Structure 1
C-alpha cells in the first residue's frame, strides 16, 4: 500500500522546521558570545565543511539512492553493504590524507587560531554526517519519514545542548561548536550501525559499486561547484570588506537558505524516489506536471513567508545593526527556490546516467559566480554577493533545462507559474515599502500575516486553485479533526 506523498512531505517539513528553529536559536548566542567578526569566521569554516562533504565518501549514498529501486529485497541488502563497506575504506583514505596534508591546507584555507585542529574537526564532522546520511537513506527510500525525522531531531537537540555547554560555559569558541556536533554524530552513527547489524556483511559487489560510483562520482564536480557558489562570496567579502560584513551576510544567507530545509529539501525527499518511479510510465507527464505545480504553489508561499517574517525575527533577537540582513534574504531565497527546480529539469541527465553533465553545469555556474563576485562585491558589498548568487543559479537552471530535455523531455505548464511569480513579487514589494521604516514587531507581523492571506486569496480569485480543491482540503481537515 502506497503511503501518501503529502503526509510524508509534511513529516519531513515538520522535522526540518524544528531542526532549523533550534539552529536559529543559537544564532543570537553565537553573535553575542563570539562577536560578529568571529561569527564571520565561523561562516567561512562552515562553508569549508560543505566543500569537504562533497567527496569524503564520494557521496556514495547518491548512487545507492539511484539504484535501490532496481533490485529485489535480497540484492538491496547487498547494495547497502557494498555502499557501507566502500564508505569505510574511504574513511581510512581520508584520515591518511589529513595526517599528510592537513597542516598545510588548514593554514592556507582557514588561517585562524588552531586552524589544523579545526580542520580535523571539520573532516570528522563531514565523515560522520555523510555516513549517517547513508545509514538513513533506506528509510527515506521506503517513505519511513518518522524514523529519519526523529533521529535527526534527537541529533540536533543533543548537539545544541552540548554546543551551549562548550561555547557558553567552557568558552571553546568555534572548536567547541564542532566538538559538540562530532560527539553527538558519533553516538548517532554507532546507534544506527548497531540497529543495522543484523543485515550487515563484509561484502562488496564490484558491479554494484561500479554503477553507484559512476553515478555518485559524476555528481562530485557539481557538489564542489555548488559549494564554490556559497564559498567564494564569503572569501571575497572577507577580502574586499570585513569579517563583520561577512557575518551579517552569513546571517541573512542562513535565513535565505531556510527554504531548503523547510520546503525544497522535504519536497525533493519525496520527489526524488517518485520521479525515478514514474518517469517511464505512460502518464509520467501528468504526474510530473502535478508535482511541478505543487512545487510552485507551496514554494512561493514559503518564499513569501520567510521573506516577510525574517525582519520580525531579527527584531525579536535585538541584533541591532545586523537587522539589515533581512534585505538580502529574498535574493537568497529566490536563488535556492529556482535551483530547486533543477530536480525536474535534470531528470533526463539522471535516468540516462549522464551525471557528469551536472558537474559541467555547476562548474559553469561556479565560474560565473566567481566573476560576478569580483565585479559586484567591491562596489555593492553583501548586496553584490546576493545578486551574484541569484544570477548564477538562474543561469544554471537554464542550462539544466536545455541540456536535460535532450535526454528526456516533459513539457511543463508554466502559465500558472508566471501568475504565481507576479503575485509574489507584487506582495513582497508592497511589504518592503510598507515596513521599511517600521521597528515595531507586532505591526510587522500583522502586515506580513495580512499579505500572506492575500496570497492565498489570490490563488482562488485567479483560479490557480479551484474552489473544489479548497473544499476538498477543508473536508479532509475536518475529517481528521473528527477522527481525533
Structure 2
C-alpha cells in the first residue's frame, strides 16, 4: 500500500500538470476552431502536421526514455554516464534530422502536400528536434524524482503557448482591421494556421534554456560500448513506439492520401477537433505513464511486485472508466470546447475514448517484456496492432470517412491489448483481477446506455441532471467495493460493507 501511495502521489503531481496543461491547451481548440472555420481546412492542416510531429518525436528519441530508466537502475551502470551518453546521442541525431530536412525541403514539402508553405515543414522539423532533445533532461527529472520542476516546465510551455495564440489569433487580427499599417509589422493575416507552428517553435526553444542545471554538473562522455548495449535494448522499443504512435496518428497522416473527397481538409479538421474532447483519456494515460515507468523498474526486484502490478491495473481500469462516464455525461458542456462548425464530429468521442482506454491497458500489460529484457515482444504486439489499424483505415476511410478512423483505433489497440495479455500470461504470469474489473466494465456499459438516451432525447439541463445521477451511482459503487470510507466519522456509517 505504501508503494501504491507513492505511485499515486507522483501520478497526482504529473497528472495535475498534465490536467492543467491539457486544460489550457484545450483552450487553443476553441481559439483555433473559432478563427479557422471548418470549411477553410486550417484546423485540418494543424491536425495533419501535428500527427507527423508525434511520429517524428518517437523516431528521434528511439526508445531512450525507457532505456534510460532500465540502465540507470542497473547496479553495474553509472547513471550519469548513461545520461551523458543518451544526451549526446539524441542531440546529434536531432541535429542531423534538421540538416536533412533543410537539404531536401522542396521535395519533402511537395510530398506532404505543402509545397505552397514549405516554412510549415522546416518550422515543424526544428520544433520536433528540440522536443526530442528535451525528452532526455525531462526523463532525468523523473529519474531524480523531481516532479515539481517537471510539472513547472510543462505548464510554463502551455502558458506561453496560450498567451501567444490569444495574441496572434484573437487580439492582433482585430487590431489589424483598424490599423493595418502598424499591426502589419508583426502580424500577417495570410499566415493563418501557420502561426500555430511558429508559436510552438518559440515556446519549445524557450523551454530548452530552462534545463541549464540539467546540462551541467557531470562529465560529458559518450560511451560507445554502453550505447551499443542500450541500442540492443531500445531498438525493439523504437519499433514498439513507432507502431504505438501510428496507432494514434496514422489515421491523421493517411487521411489526405486515402480520402478522395474535395472536403478532405475540412473532414480531417472536424475529426481532429472532436477528438480533442476525448483526449482526457490520453491525459490520464500520460500522467500514469510518467509515474509508472520509474515505479515499475524501481520495484523490479521486490517479491510482491506482481501483486502490485495487478492492483495498479485494476485501479487504472476503474478510474479510466469513471473518466469516460464523466466525459459522456457532460458532453452538452464539453462540446463548447470546439466551434459549432465541428460539432458533427462529436459522435467519434466515445469511440476514441474506448480505444485510448485499450491503449492504457496495453501499456500496463507491456512491462513484463521490459522487465525480462525481451522488448522484441513489444515490437511484435504493437506492429501487429498497427498493421490492423492501417489496413482498417485504408479499407474503410474511403467509404465511411473519419468515422472509420475512430473505429480503426479500437481494432488496432484491441488487437495489441489482447495479444499482449495472452502471451504475457505464459511468459510472465500476473494474476490480474479480471472478474472484479469486468464488473466495473459491465456497470459502465449499462450507465453509458442510459447516458446515450438521456443525451439524445432530453433537453441539455435534464440530460446533465440524469447523467450526474448515473455518475454518482458509479462513484458509489467504487467507494463500496474498493475505496471504503468506513474509517471516516459520520460518512463511514453510510459506507459499511
Say whether the fold is shared (TM-score over 0.5).
Answer: yes
Aligned residue number for residue 276 of structure 1:
297
Q: Superposed, which structure 2 residues align to 1:27-426 within 5 Å?
A: 27-36=29-38, 37-71=41-75, 75-111=78-114, 113-114=116-117, 116-168=118-170, 169=172, 170=187, 171=189, 172-192=191-211, 194-235=212-253, 237-238=255-256, 239-241=259-261, 242-261=264-283, 263-314=284-335, 316-317=336-337, 319-426=339-446
Once the two structures are TM-superposed, the CA of residue 308 in structure 1 deviates from its matched residue by 2.5
CA distance in 1, matches of 2:437, 2:93: 43
What is the alpha-carbon root mean square deviation over aligned residues? Answer: 2.4
Displacement over 6 Å in runs of 4+: none
Q: Give the structure-2-normalised TM-score.
A: 0.87
Structure 2: 5+ residue runs without aligned partners? 173-186, 493-497
CA distance in 2, matches of 1:465, 1:46: 39
Q: Give the structure-1-normalised TM-score.
A: 0.89
Determine which of 445, 467, 471 is the counterpart of 2:486.
Answer: 471
- Contact 1:308/1:431, CA 8 A, preserved across alignment: yes
- Contact 1:348/1:405, CA 8 A, preserved across alignment: no
- Contact 1:347/1:408, CA 8 A, preserved across alignment: no
CA distance in 2, matches of 1:237, 1:94: 25
- Contact 1:159/1:184, CA 8 A, preserved across alignment: yes
How many residues in Structure 1 have an aligned counterpart in Structure 2?
Answer: 466
Aligned residue number for residue 178 of structure 2:
none
1:49-87 C-alpha deviation (Å, 9 max, x unpaired): 111112224342231122222248x92112111111112
Q: Secondary structure at the match of 2:429?
A: coil
Once the two structures are TM-superposed, the CA of residue 142 in structure 1 deviates from its matched residue by 3.4
Once the two structures are TM-superposed, the CA of residue 32 in structure 1 deviates from its matched residue by 1.9
CA distance in 2, matches of 1:318, 1:247: 11
Q: Secondary structure at the match of 1:56?
A: helix
Q: Secondary structure at the match of 2:330?
A: helix
Once the two structures are TM-superposed, the CA of residue 426 in structure 1 deviates from its matched residue by 0.9
1:27-57 C-alpha deviation (Å, 9 max, x unpaired): 1211121222211121111101111112224
Structure 1: 5+ residue runs without aligned partners? 479-484
CA distance in 1, matches of 2:120, 2:6: 43
Q: 1:353 to 1:464 in 2, by over 3 A?
A: same
CA distance in 1, matches of 2:380, 2:72: 26
Q: Secondary structure at the match of 1:403?
A: helix
Q: Secondary structure at the match of 1:176?
A: helix
